[in-house]
Amino acid sequence: MDLFQLGSDDLRALRATAPVHRDPATGLWLVSRYDDVRAVLADPKRFHPDNALTAVTAVPRPVLRVLARAGFSLPPTLANNGTGTHAGLRRLVARFLTPDRVRAMGPRIAELARERLDRLTGPVADLHAALARDLPAVVLLEVMGIDGVDVGLLKRWSTASLELFWGTPSPERQHELAGPTAEFHRWLTGRLRAARGDDLFGALRDVPVREAAGLCYFLLIAGQETTTQLLGALFDAVLRQDGLWSRLAEPGTAGWVVEEVLRRDPPVSTWRRVAAEPVTISGVDVPAGAQLLLMLAGSGSDPEVFAEPERLCPARPNARKHLAFGYGRHFCLGAGLARLEAEVVLRETRERFPDLRLASAEPPPMLGLLSFRAPLSVRVELGGAGRVAAPGAGLVGSPTRG
């Protein structure tokens, strides 16, 4: 079983016949049923987050030396923090992601989307490269109050980091990836030491630099790469379902489509935990120290929770019950912002290009990391252009649900 290529059939088989399965190749314990995944996420005493950011592929000594020279480290801060410092660090970040602050970003997200849509001339375009790739990074930096960042460089740093820590690169490739990873960490350390303002870096001025850099490293990657991945998955899924693109003009539909894609095709497809003591999950005895791989994607298609789970159904009454943003004390701080971005970008694109369709029925190239899976390209035929939206158009419903 290749954990980097698991499809819906594989996840269905795991849920039905082996809901807690030890993968002999990696030693990971795969947990795939919704109730089990949620129970693990809800119980930080028995299931620790210590391994959340551990490199999937062991990093060899020469690569470790490259990282060490940059002072690179990932101490417990947010996703990998099961200690008493977690709540305080989380509060420092949460002040930048309050419902009011997120809501206020709506018009700006629409503006950024329209700027990019206006550049599309067709007849064929790639929505990933033209729209989804950099917009979430610009939004995250603005909501965090951070300026003076080369967005293209940030994307290079973050994609290299994702591959290094969640992929299966060869030793030679690991050495290549260590360069931009170390460069990013060095840049963060410099910005934090020079921080004087009210941005994220300034808010962390009283946190030791090592911890602050680890927090920012994770946040500035996850806070925008996962939304890029969500936008790609969203466009691909909607355009593959007959008639759904036209339905996005109906009030409320775009927001519920976002929830369905999060449920069925979450950009964060798996996440990890460590069993702190011997436990029994779905009748299977799991030893202390076991490395658990929670199948977030599989949990969203559990027929015990979601009727006709493979169907993309915008009217699904419990669509928001998914675990795409986690659950419990580590629930994603950026969930409201990601939802808002996805809904606004989807509506703006539908309004600008009402006749949009996929350029090919072939599956797109995919990002295939242990915990991240999404299209790397969404090639579309633009068709006829609709009207250019007025500032603020297309914002409906509550952008900070959940």
Which residues are registered as beta bridge partners of 284? 281
Residues sharing a CB contact under 8 Å with residue 378, sequence separation 6 or more, in sequence order? 126, 127, 128, 132, 232, 235, 236, 239, 358, 364
Q: Tell whether the model's pLDDT for residue 394 goes beyond 60.
A: no
User: Within 13 Å and on the Cβ side, how many CA atoms surround 5?
Assistant: 4
Which residues are registered as beta bridge partners of 126? 379
Is the residue at 402 inside a domain?
no
Total count of domains within the chain: 1
Question: How far apart, in whole angstroms, are the C-alpha atoms of residue 3 and residue 370?
Answer: 7
Q: Strands 291-295 and 29-31, how do they pair?
A: parallel
Q: Tell whether the model's pLDDT for residue 230 goes beyond 50.
A: yes
Is the residue at 17 inside a domain?
yes
The rounded mean pLDDT for the chain is 94
Share of the chain above pLDDT 70, in %: 96
Cis (ω within 30 of 0) for the bond into 317?
A: no
Q: What is the DSSP letter of 47?
A: E
Q: Domain of 219?
A: 8-381
Q: What is the DSSP letter of 392?
A: T
Which range (127-136, 358-367, 385-394) has the least confidence?
385-394
Q: Tell whether the model's pLDDT for residue 398 goes beyond 90.
A: no
Q: Give the three-state DSSP class for 377.
A: coil
CA distances from 261 to 201, 269, 318, 376 (A): 33, 12, 13, 16
Question: How far apart, in whole angstroms, are the C-alpha atoms of residue 197 and residue 219?
Answer: 19
Q: Tell whether the model's pLDDT for residue 343 goes beyond 60.
A: yes
Q: Tell whether the model's pLDDT for residue 5 goes beyond 80.
A: yes
Is the residue at 231 inside a domain?
yes
Looking at residues 5-9, what average pLDDT do you find?
Answer: 89
Which residues are registered as beta bridge partners of 268? 372
Question: How far apart, in whole angstroms, are the C-alpha atoms of residue 298 and residue 374?
Answer: 15
Q: Tell whether the model's pLDDT for residue 390 goes beyond 50.
A: no
Question: How far apart, in whole angstroms, are the C-alpha atoms of residue 378 and residue 11?
Answer: 25
CATH of the domain at 263: 1.10.630.10
Q: Tell whether the model's pLDDT for residue 72 goes beyond 70.
A: yes
pLDDT, residue 205, reads 95
Q: Tell whether the model's pLDDT for residue 391 goes beyond 60.
A: no
How would residue 396 be classed by pLDDT, with cut points 50, 70 and 90?
Answer: very low
Question: How far apart, in whole angstroms, are the C-alpha atoms of residue 294 and residue 263?
Answer: 14
Neighbours of 58 (CB within 10 A): 10
Neighbours of 402 (CB within 10 A): 15
pLDDT in tens, 34-52: 999 999 999 999 999 999 9
Q: Tell whether the model's pLDDT for residue 78 goes beyond 90.
A: yes
Question: How far apart, in whole angstroms, are the C-alpha atoms of residue 257 and residue 237?
Answer: 9
How would residue 385 be classed by pLDDT, with cut points 50, 70 and 90?
Answer: confident
How would residue 384 be classed by pLDDT, with cut points 50, 70 and 90?
Answer: confident
Estimate the crossing angle of helix 106-118 against helix 135-143, to 10 degrees: 150
pLDDT, residue 387, reads 52
Is the residue at 36 inside a domain?
yes
Contact 40, 293 (CB under 8 A): no
Looking at residues 297-325, what average pLDDT do you find?
Answer: 94
Question: How far apart, in whole angstroms, are the C-alpha atoms of residue 120 and residue 126?
Answer: 9
pLDDT in tens, 251-300: 999 999 999 999 999 999 999 999 999 999 999 999 999 999 999 999 99
Contact 56, 167 (CB under 8 A): yes
